[in-house]
Amino acid sequence: MVPLSWYLILAAALFCIGLYGVLARRNAIAVLMGVELMMNAVIINLVAFWRYIQPTLINGQVFAVVVFAVAAAEASVGLALIISIYRRRNSVVAEDMNLLKW
Amino acid sequence: MRIEYVWLIPLPPLLSFFIIWLFTNRSKTLSHTVAIVSMAISWVLSVITFLFALTIEHFGQEVFELSVPWLPTGDTALNMGVLVDPLTAAMLFFVPLTCLLIFIYSVGYQNYGKQLDPHDAVGSPPHNGVEPMYSRFFAFLSLFAFGMLLLVVADNLLLLFVGWEIMGLCSYLLIGFWYGRNYADPNQITPRQAAVKAFMTTRVGDVAMMLGIVYLYFQTGTLSFREILYNEEVLLQLAETPSYLAGLSVAGLVGLLLFAGAVGKSAQFPLHVWLPDAMEGPTPVSAMIHAATMVSAGVYAMVRMFPLLSAGWHHGGELTAPMMAMGFIGSFTALFAATIAVAQKDVKKVLAYSTISQLGYMIAALGIGAYVAAAFHLITHAFFKALLFLGSGSVIHGVEHGMHHAPGAHEHLDPQDMFNMGGLRRKMPVTFWTFLIGGFALAGFPFITAGFWSKDEILADAFASQQIVFWVLVLSALLTAFYTMRQISLTFLGEPRTHSAEHASETTWTMTTPLVILAFFALFAGFVGVPESFPGLGEFLHNLGNFNRFHEFVGGTLLEHPEAVEFNIFPLVASIVASLGGLTLGWLVYGLNPLKQGQADPLAAPLGPIYTLLERKYFFDELYDYVFVRPAKWISEVLTYRIMDKIIIDGFLHGVARAAVVVGNFFKDELEKKTIDNPPIYLANAIQWVGKSFRVIQTGRVQNYLLIGMLVVLAFSGVYYLMLAGVLK
Amino acid sequence: MSFVLDHLVSLVVFTPLVGMVAVGLVPNGQKQALRWTAFLASLVPAGLSIALWFNYANSGGGFQFEEQAVWYQAINASYHVGVDGLAAPMILLTGLLTPLAILASFSIEDRIKPYMMLFLMLETGMFGVFAALDLMIFFLFYEIGLVPMYFLINQWGGKDRRYASFKFFVYTMAGSLGLLLSIQLIGLSSGTFDIVQLMNLWPSFKSELLPGVVSIDTIKTVAFFAFCLAFSIKIPLWPFHTWLPDAHTEAPTAGSMILAGVLLKLGAFGFLRLVLPLFPEQAHLYSPVLATLAVLAIVLGAFAAYGQSDFKRLVAYSSINHMGFVVLGIAVAAWAAGTSSEAYRESAAIAGTGAVLQMFNHGLSSAAMFFLVGVVYERVHTRDLNEIGGGIWQYAPVYGGILVFSAMSSLGLPGLNGFVSEFAVTRGAWPVFTAITAISMLGLLFTGAYILKAIQKVLHGPKNPKWAGHMPDMSTREIVAVAPLMALMLLIGVWPWWLADVINEAVKRLIG
């Protein structure tokens, strides 16, 4: 078997890429995509830990499925928000959504 | 003893007042019916009481009394009740009768039966129509009758005072009955001003009287007549205990205070000024209140309180202080008022001054101890004075009738001025003959008039005790007869001086019938008081069923029966000379050559300035105005309100307020703003600066927030890692 | 039913507050509903106070309908209320006058709801003072009575209302400061605030609050004078009276009715309830001064009233004049309460009875007079007697008759109520303060003068064309508002026993 650390590094790399996407992308949908990446990195992490530490227990799988569900829900809500904003302002640029500025 | 109904005697007129005020105000017929019927009921009850009282031997010892507790006073109570003793019975004989006759007279006087004239203003006397405030008049008359009857049957001094004041109120209301009346001459007193004058002048006497009542109550613990006046020990104690004023016993001081009340109510000098102006009221009012009843109330109160006033006096001994005061003021007033009456033009004013003078007689009689004589004169005077007033009202009505019915332009003259009358004996015969009888009674025409007998008894008593009082009273009698004849001549004799007098006519039966009834009494009421020692007539009447028992009956009110004075020819002769002499003199000046139109008073020229002095009533009204009225107004308007309250007291308060404002401002500016307020302000500014500085973080952009969040997580993770590694603790 | 009887006093005190809430619930714009709700709400305490009166057993004095509840245990002040022969007539008076005053207020058009609510709140304050048997409770209700009155004058009053309401409030409160101080002194020294206990305890109390610093005598003297000052301002006693003409004149009609009818009595009641029982010796020493001030109030009040040209201010000064008699009676009672000599005990009882009776009578007559002033003012919009110019009687005979009747009661005409109390006070004061009583007769003389002046300048004279069409006669509502007062005036004047007996028993107990 491949050492656990490889999966962890993979997950970390994906996470960072996703983080970069969230922090630095202009387009709001791209931000959501970054969030999805971060979620998936988490899932990889979870599955790796499950497989390598306690493969017999079902807890890891269940945890991963829950995270899937959360990711899906969050993506749909996020997209709904962005669509409603788009309908108002005809733009999805994240920088311009600063109404809560002081 | 059928005493249960005595307290009912004053009630019907009271009920009549309420019924008229609340219910029958709109109907004239109902109002006067209620008033007259109720008065008649009182009269009937009074007559029954009187007749019953007559049948009882030694009535003074077994009187009718009934009382109930009224006001709690510590552990005891003050009682109120009724009392009928011989004096009350005598009063009950004439008071309701005169009141009833005057009620009936008023029906005609207020022009009942005529239509309401639209030109007549409410609150002013009607010209020819019925009086617009007809019902109100009878309501007030009823209330007044209640007050007088209450006073008469009262068993204690306080209830007497209550009746006294209620009459004072009615006097005020009735003098000012025509409250809207104005005169062209601003110096002539209007009815409403006369009403206030009457009320205030009598009030001066009333407050003194109240002090007397209070003092007596304190000293004896009671105000009941029987307990004080019919009680040897109490009277002796009162006469011997010294009072607050040196030289006066309690009886003396109380007596003087009570007398002060009578001076006010009976218009004696110096509180006489209100009575002539009270003639502004309708004539029935003048007759009832200011001749027969209310002014007599003052004398009645003195007669009633006589045992107290004379406590310590024995017949022939030294007079007590109240008696001396009464003797002096009474006789002085009698003469003083008679002199003024000689120069008056208004028919009612002559009678007013005459009343003052006659009341002076009664007071003087009490002053010298002639108890029965005073009571006697009180009763006869009520009859003939009421008669004279009602007669004068009839005359005035007749002249007014002539004023409105004379062909051609209506004259505008004063229908009360005697110099506008004349010759009325042919136009108004009933009025003339009854007035003549009344006038002769007033003058004391010998033997056949009641006034003679009562006046003669006073003179006889005066001659026997105080000669100076006797001579003053004789002189007054002379003047009385003189001005009476003057009045009769000017009004009735000769030829009419004006068109109005020319066309005057006799008044209705409701007015003339009371005149006839009163004339009857003016002639025959005197015979009950003929002294037994009088030659011939005295014995004759005594044998005729003890007809002349007045002295014996009324004298029984006192503990000790007063002695009847022995017959003396001198005062009798003096009385006859004064009366006939005065009448003849009056006739010679005014009746022999009756005045023609426009002619002046024949007395004016020879007397000159004295005449003016008399006519202007010795300028007492003007004097009182300067000495009392104006200073009182100044004290009230300027001294008490403006100076004392507003300038001094409020000024002080405002000063305190201003000082408080100054102190407060100092604290506010110096201390508060500069010192105490500042630290919190600085703190607040600092917090605000911090806030302003930090708010730049809040850009509104989600990504920035996430970045900051991530940086902080990293920082914390680093710190945590270092702590775990043992580098940081 | 027994609940009602057991808690009658508390119910009387607090039902006006319930009424206030009821009025508060009525929607703002419904003027008639507001008025009638307030009136009906005020009838409840009226009925309860009448029930209190009829259930009061007049034998031997002492407090009845006592209620006690825990309130402020830390300082030993409880909610203690009850009535005796002094309080019962006052409660009856308050219960009677408030509905009539509310009835008189029906002509107010502006902001009826707060007006009525303030009125009912005021009523609670007044009832509470009369019923209080604990010093803190007394003070509480005493002050509660001030605030609504201030607003009533300030918001619904005449031209100078700001000055008048401010003066009234601050002046009275200045006196109350001393009152509070004294109450604290007494409470802390003796350890209790309960009036019933203090009546037995305090006069002979000797233990010191701050030993060595302040003696008990000093405390007693300070407390006594502070009490006297506070109540003298309220009564008002000359020379602390100058707030009264302004406050009465500027207050709305019903406000004046209650102010003169009841609020002034709080001061006199304070004297009788607190000063005399708690400080008998000091009261005895001070009574000649009190009597002198009383006679000054009587005489100067009468003179000042006579000098007025403002109808309402004339009636206001008449209040000073009448309350002078109350204080004279209290002075005599004070004199007797502090000695054990039998000499003038009967006179003191009569004077004390007269004083309380005068409180009741003045409540009736001044309320009637102020109401009648208001009736005229609403029609002719002026209070100046010279501007009115007379000649009103022809237009409004019913009004004229009622005015003369009420004026005669105010004047003290025998046969009506004023005379009975004035006679009793005069009789009681004569042996104790003879010269002073004699001087007070001058005041009585001028009482006649100012009453007659008012009648003449308003009613008498030829029919005044200025007021043609402006002077309708009294409406049914107005007659109903004043008729009970007139009936009582006549009843008490003719037959005062039912009222005077209750008072007499209490006064006898007061002077020992």
Where is mean pLDDT largest: A63-77, B215-229, B244-258?
Answer: A63-77
Quote the distance between the C-alpha of residue C290 and its chain's center.
Answer: 18
Q: String of b and e for C247-283 (b: at least 16 CB within 10 Å)?
A: bbbbbbbbbbbbbbbbbbbbbbbbbbbbbbbbbbebb
d(C-alpha C236, C-alpha C241), whole Å: 5
DSSP line for C62-116:
--EEEEEEEEEGGGTEEEEEEE-TTHHHHHHHHHHHHHHHHHHGGG--SSHHHHH
Q: Which residues of A touch B (CB under 8 A)?
A: 19, 22-24, 31, 94-95, 97-102
Quote the distance between the C-alpha of residue B185 and its chain's center.
Answer: 26
Instruction: Pick the residue from chain A with its C-alpha nearest to B694.
Output: A102
Give the residues across from B346 on adjacent strands.
B417
Q: Do chains B and C touch (3 or more CB pairs under 8 A)?
A: yes
| pLDDT exceeds 80 at position B179 | yes
Q: Do C242 and B218 touch (CB under 8 A)?
A: no
Q: Do B703 and A99 touch (CB under 8 A)?
A: no
Which residue, among B266, B436, B434, has the nearest Cα to B337 in the 3D structure? B266
pLDDT the model gives residue C15: 93
CB B386 within 8 A of CB B101: yes
Q: Looking at chain B, which subunits does it touch, using at least 3 CB pairs closer than 8 Å as the criterion?
A: A, C
Give the residues across from B79 on adjacent strands.
B69
3 state SS of B49: helix
d(C-alpha C182, C-alpha C282), whole Å: 15
Establish if A48 belongs to a structural domain.
yes
Largest CA distance in chain A: 54
Give the residues across from B417 on adjacent strands.
B346
Where is mean pLDDT largest: B366-370, B422-426, C119-123, C280-284?
Answer: C119-123
H or E stretch including A9? helix A4-24
Which residue, among B451, B444, B469, has the nearest Cα to B335 in the 3D structure? B469
Q: How many CB atoms lie within 10 A of CB C349?
A: 28
pLDDT band, residue B1 (cuts 50/70/90): very low
Q: Do B123 and C345 touch (CB under 8 A)?
A: no
Q: Do B699 and A99 touch (CB under 8 A)?
A: no
B293-307 pLDDT, tens digit per residue, is 888 899 999 999 999
Contacts of C306 in chain B (CB under 8 A): 632-633, 636-637
pLDDT the model gives residue C407: 95
Rg (CA), chain B: 38
H or E stretch including B78? strand B76-84
Residue type, B594: P
| pLDDT exceeds 50 at position B27 | yes
Establish if A101 belongs to a structural domain.
no
pLDDT the model gives residue B409: 60
Instruction: Report DSSP state, residue B672.
Output: I
Which residue, among C368, C375, C372, C385, has the nearest Cα to C464 in the 3D structure? C385
Range with the poorest average pLDDT among B195-204, B529-538, C104-113, C318-327 = B529-538
Contacts of B195 in chain C (CB under 8 A): 452
CB B268 within 8 A of CB B363: yes
Establish if A100 belongs to a structural domain.
no
Here the tokens at position C58 are 């007049």
Q: Do C353 and B73 touch (CB under 8 A)?
A: yes
Q: Do B695 and A19 touch (CB under 8 A)?
A: no
Q: Do B700 and A23 touch (CB under 8 A)?
A: no
CB of C105 within 8 Å of any CB in chain B?
A: no
Which among B640, B650, B652 is the top mutation candidate for probing chain C, defined by the most C β-carbons within 10 Å of its own β-carbon? B640
Measure the CA angle with vertex C333, ends C332 and C336; round to 5°.
90
Establish if A56 belongs to a structural domain.
yes
d(C-alpha B335, C-alpha C178), whole Å: 65
Which among B693, B702, B706, B714 is the top mutation candidate for probing chain A, defined by the most A β-carbons within 10 Å of its own β-carbon? B702
**What's the whole-number mean pLDDT along residues B478-491?**
92
The CATH number of residue A51's host domain is 1.10.287.3510
Contacts of B690 in chain A (CB under 8 A): none
Q: Give the predicted TM-score (pTM) of the model.
A: 0.85
d(C-alpha C148, C-alpha B422), whole Å: 73
| pLDDT exceeds 50 at position A32 | yes
Q: Which of B695, B700, B706 sits opposite A99 (nearest CB)?
A: B700
Q: Do A97 and B701 touch (CB under 8 A)?
A: yes
pLDDT band, residue B2 (cuts 50/70/90): low
B677-707 pLDDT, tens digit per residue, is 777 888 888 999 999 999 988 888 888 999 9
Q: Looking at chain A, which subunits does it touch, using at least 3 CB pairs closer than 8 Å as the criterion?
A: B
Q: Do A101 and B699 touch (CB under 8 A)?
A: yes
Instruction: Report DSSP state, residue B561.
Output: P
CB of C512 within 8 Å of any CB in chain B?
A: no
Q: Do C306 and B636 touch (CB under 8 A)?
A: yes
Please, which residues have CB within 8 angstroms of residue C330's CB and are 6 or more apart in sequence?
C268, C271, C272, C276, C290, C294, C352, C355
Establish if A98 belongs to a structural domain.
no
How many angstroms separate the CA of residue A67 from the nearest CA in chain B? 21
Q: At what angle do helices C311-337 and C417-432 cross, to 10 degrees?
A: 40
DSSP line for C31-60:
HHHHHHHHHHHHHHHHHHHHHHHHH---SS
| pLDDT exceeds 80 at position B123 | yes
Which among A33, A89, A98, A99 is the top mutation candidate for probing chain B, defined by the most B β-carbons within 10 Å of its own β-carbon? A98
**What's the whole-number mean pLDDT along residues B384-398?**
91
| pLDDT exceeds 90 at position B666 | no
CB of C395 within 8 Å of any CB in chain B?
A: no
CB C428 within 8 A of CB C351: yes
Q: Do B218 and C414 touch (CB under 8 A)?
A: no
Q: Do C393 and B644 touch (CB under 8 A)?
A: no
Q: Looking at chain C, which subunits does it touch, using at least 3 CB pairs closer than 8 Å as the criterion?
A: B
Q: Do A102 and B695 touch (CB under 8 A)?
A: yes
Contacts of B702 in chain A (CB under 8 A): 31, 94, 97
Terminal-to-terminal C-alpha distance of chain B: 123
pLDDT the model gives residue A33: 95
Q: Do C346 and B74 touch (CB under 8 A)?
A: yes
CB A12 within 8 A of CB A41: yes
pLDDT the model gives residue B177: 92
Domain residue limits at A36? 4-91
Which residue, among B168, B161, B17, has the nearest Cα to C420 in the 3D structure? B161
pLDDT the model gives residue B668: 81
| pLDDT exceeds 70 at position B729 | no
How many angstroms separate the CA of residue B635 from the nearest CA in chain C? 7
How many angstroms separate the CA of residue A56 from the nearest CA in chain B? 32
d(C-alpha C288, C-alpha B172), whole Å: 37
Contacts of A35 in chain B (CB under 8 A): none
| Size of the A and B interface in Cβ pairs below 8 Å | 32
Region at C83 (left for phi over 0; alpha for psi -120 to 50; beta for the rest): beta
Q: Which of B695, B699, B706 sits opposite A23 (nearest CB)?
A: B706
Q: Do C463 and B121 touch (CB under 8 A)?
A: yes
B274-332 pLDDT, tens digit per residue, is 999 999 889 889 888 877 788 889 999 999 999 999 888 877 778 888 999 999 999 99
Q: Which of B698, B701, B710 sits opposite A95 (nearest CB)?
A: B701
pLDDT by residue for chain C (512 residues), tens only, comes to 788 888 889 999 999 999 999 999 988 888 899 999 999 999 999 999 999 999 888 776 688 888 888 888 888 888 999 999 899 999 999 999 999 999 999 998 889 999 999 999 999 999 999 999 999 999 999 999 899 999 999 999 888 899 999 999 999 999 999 999 999 988 888 888 999 889 888 888 877 766 667 788 888 888 999 999 999 999 999 889 989 999 999 999 999 999 999 999 999 999 999 999 999 888 999 999 999 999 999 999 999 999 999 999 999 999 999 999 999 999 999 998 877 777 688 889 999 999 999 999 999 999 999 999 999 999 999 999 998 888 888 889 899 999 999 999 999 999 999 999 999 999 999 999 999 999 999 999 999 999 999 999 999 988 888 888 888 889 999 999 999 999 999 999 999 999 999 999 899 888 87
- How many structural domains does chain A have? 1
Q: How far is CA A71 from CA A31, A62, A83, B518, in A?
A: 14, 14, 18, 129
How many angstroms separate the CA of residue B652 from the nearest CA in chain A? 59
Q: Do chains B and A touch (3 or more CB pairs under 8 A)?
A: yes
Instruction: Pick the residue from chain A with its C-alpha nearest to B706.
Output: A23
Q: Do B244 and C434 touch (CB under 8 A)?
A: yes
CB of C353 within 8 Å of any CB in chain B?
A: yes
Instruction: Pick the residue from chain C with its C-alpha nearest to B223.
Output: C427
Which residue, among C320, C317, C350, has the nearest Cα to C332 in the 3D structure? C350
Q: Helix and strand tally (H, E) in chain B?
A: 32, 2
